[in-house]
Amino acid sequence: MPVQIFGGNKLTRSPFFLALIEFLREEKSLREIHKAFEDTRNLDRQLDQLISAGLVIRSEKRYRLGFPIFTDGDFKLEPTALAPSRLSYDGPIFIEAGSRLAERLSQSLIYQTLTNETNSVKLHFISRFDHGTENLFNYFYKLEKELPLSPFEEEVYQILGDVDPEYCLKYMTTFLLRFLKKESINVSRPDIFVRTLEKYGMIEKTGEKSYMLKQSFQAEEELPVQTFTDPKAFIQAQLAQQQTSVHDYLSIGG
């Protein structure tokens, strides 16, 4: 069965690893692996990297997957919702592709914050768990993780490029702070940062040179934080993050 990987990295996206997932559903010997992947370059080195990362386990000259592949039968999928929380799990998660579980997990909500070193402005976002929501956090996330960009994000890339997030946020937040004094800001020549804020709907052009803020500055909402070491426990908790009264907003300080 095909597998959908959440929170993956360059290693888990390698063609060799993706093919190996299917091959190692049952334990195999090194000879069997070499025979099945005889055309794979640097096979032993790639295999050692997967073992070092804990993705493949080698025991008594046998090889097996170092992670579970979760299916619908592993979880209660009845609709449920808990209070908004920031949940974290440090590692990739492997789900049966096309399953209800994969769909429910993809659609569950996560809470994201962008900060910068220039000032105390924070940009807060709510996103789908699979980072499919179009926002600035997910744009930077996909560039950092070398993930494919959506068509919308490709348009953003034509404006912003592979810019350093800290550098970008320095200018964006400095501009956003101006709306604390004025409802409308005049900009004669919008730079790439203003154009990107407009692209994401954080500001709106109201005249030939004027812009208004579409998001509000408000007190930061303190959400409970919970860190997981067990992927199954994390998934069950994340599945309950389905509804929220929180919305995208800006805050200062905290």
What is the share, in percent, of the chain residues with pLDDT greater than 70? Answer: 99
Q: For residues 68 and 94, is the Cβ–Cβ distance under 8 A?
A: yes
Q: What is the pLDDT of residues 45-75, one digit of tens each?
A: 999 999 999 999 999 999 999 999 999 999 9
Reference 235, options 100, 60, 64, 63; nearest CA is 100
What's 97's DSSP letter?
A: T
Q: What is the pLDDT of residues 214-231, one digit of tens each?
A: 999 999 999 999 999 999
CATH code of the region 3-65: 1.10.10
- What is the mean predicted confidence (pLDDT) over 13-32? 94
Indicate the helix (H) or strand (E) that contains 6.
strand 3-6
Domain boundaries, the chain: 3-65, 73-252
* pLDDT the model gives residue 254: 64
The reported pTM is: 0.91
Enumerate residues 6+ apart whose C-beta is below 8 A from 138: 112, 125, 127, 131, 132, 153
Task: Give the span between the Cα atoms of 140 and 7, in whole angstroms.
Answer: 15
* pLDDT the model gives residue 32: 96
Q: What is the distance between the terminal CA atoms of the chain, rounded to a whole angstrom?
A: 46
Residue 59: Cβ-neighbour burial (10 angstroms; 0-12, 13-18, 19+): exposed
What's 70's DSSP letter?
A: B
Task: Give the span between the Cα atoms of 119 and 97, in whole angstroms.
Answer: 42
Residue 172: Cβ-neighbour burial (10 angstroms; 0-12, 13-18, 19+): buried
Reply yes or no on whether the pLDDT at 80 is more than 90: no
Query: Which pLDDT band, with edges at 50, 70 and 90, does 245 fall under?
Result: confident
Q: For residues 11 and 55, is the Cβ–Cβ distance under 8 A?
A: yes
* pLDDT the model gives residue 78: 77
Q: For residues 128 and 107, is the Cβ–Cβ distance under 8 A?
A: yes
CB atoms within 10 A of CB 206: 12
* pLDDT the model gives residue 79: 67
Residue 213 or 244, more confident: 213
Q: State the average pLDDT for the chain.
A: 94
109-114, strands of its sheet edge to edge: 109-114, 121-128, 249-252
- What is the mean predicted confidence (pLDDT) over 200-227? 94
